[in-house]
Chains A and B, each alone.
Chain A
Amino acid sequence: MLTGSCLCGGVAYEVDAAIGPIAHCHCATCRKAHGSAFSSVSSVPRDKFRWTKGANLLASYESSPGKVRRFCSKCGSQILAERAGQATVILRLGCVDTPITDRPKVHIWRSQGASWLDPKDQLLEMPEGFA
């Protein structure tokens, strides 16, 4: 089981599944949302995911049509993203409390990424999303 929470501790969740494949996303919207060089994310089955605390504190922003990013309205932590009807939700790994040992699989949207980072020697790199 995975658990996760935001910085202020107001929002928490559980997932009855292991972490899925990890991707680093360099797209402009992830950079804006997270304020960092890229986001590190992983999908888990929607039916295995549940909020355990503070669902009323969640705020949402639709960053592109159909894609909703959920964050804590109290501390601003980005917690997950999802698309209606999809079988998975996408965890933002910074808020996962369970230690993560899996090695990430891929860098995506490198076409929009920072030049100081050159991950080609380490992981698969895609100019945009997954092929």
Chain B
Amino acid sequence: MRCRRASPDPSRRDDSVHPALKPIREKDVDSASVSKKCETTEAIAKRQSEPVQITEGAIQRVGECHCGALKIIAAGEPERVYLCHCKACQRRTGTAFHFGVTYRRGQVRLEGEYNIYERGADSGSRIRYYFCPTCGSNLRWESERNPTLCGVAYGALETFDLSPTSAIFKESMHRWLELPSLTEHHRQGRPSAAS
């Protein structure tokens, strides 16, 4: 497995952009975030203080990137299925909104080569995205804000049996995006107590 990390361009400074897109200051970029360190999924989980523990017999949802080189396996039921309308998610996915499935980190396994892109969120915590270097598909992400959870890209999954029940960053939702009403909307991120 090979993995690489990249950090945001510190020269990208524009106060007019969404808070989630404000650039990381030079001093905030620690040396680890720009190193080319290779991690196994187990090492990722260890760093996040929760081992990968996929229970035998649990339902598994399997996904892969566009070219098929990077796979993701999520065992058991997710904690949350949601949409995010923040501008950073729009840019990262290239589409109008992000559709995420949140699991406990120990439920998710990545198989294959990936790159890591790391950025600072407006909450002050750091977010890491794992994407395929060949086709660019983002499959997994994690935030320091929620050290026991990670996200899986809905679009990567082979089955569509999950429906979103909440949406965040509604304030930056495209007005022309006509989606079904969801039970729970948050103007920005979800309150930390509920995250």
A contact residues vs B (CB 8 Å cutoff): 5-10, 22, 24, 29-40, 59, 61, 63, 69, 71-79, 92-95, 100-104, 114-119, 122-123
Is B55 part of the contact surface with A, judged by Cβ < 8 Å? Answer: no
B103 proximity list for chain A (CB < 8 A):
none
Interchain CB contact under 8 A, A34 and B67:
no
In B105-131, which residues have CB < 8 Å from any A CB? 115, 117, 119, 129, 131
Known contacts A34-B94, A116-B163: A10-B99 contact under CB 8 Å: no
A35 proximity list for chain B (CB < 8 A):
93, 98-99, 137-139, 153-156
Is B40 part of the contact surface with A, judged by Cβ < 8 Å? Answer: no
- Interface residues of B, CB < 8 Å — how many? 51
Interchain CB contact under 8 A, A95 and B23:
no
Interchain CB contact under 8 A, A94 and B93:
yes
Is B135 part of the contact surface with A, judged by Cβ < 8 Å? Answer: yes
**Listed A/B pairs (24) with beta-carbon separation below 8 Å:** A32-B135, A33-B94, A33-B155, A34-B155, A35-B99, A35-B139, A35-B155, A36-B96, A36-B155, A37-B154, A40-B95, A61-B67, A61-B136, A75-B117, A76-B138, A78-B94, A92-B94, A92-B95, A94-B89, A94-B91, A95-B94, A100-B174, A101-B176, A123-B178
CB of B34 to closest CB in A, whole Å: 11
Known contacts A37-B155, A76-B117, A100-B174: A8-B133 contact under CB 8 Å: no
Closest to A72 in B: B136
A95 proximity list for chain B (CB < 8 A):
90-91, 94
CB of B190 to closest CB in A, whole Å: 18
A77 vs B95: C-alpha distance when bound (angstroms): 9
Is B9 part of the contact surface with A, judged by Cβ < 8 Å? Answer: yes
Closest to B12 in A: A9
Is B64 part of the contact surface with A, judged by Cβ < 8 Å? Answer: yes
B11 proximity list for chain A (CB < 8 A):
9
B 10-27 binary contact with A (CB < 8 Å = 1; else 0): 011000000001010000
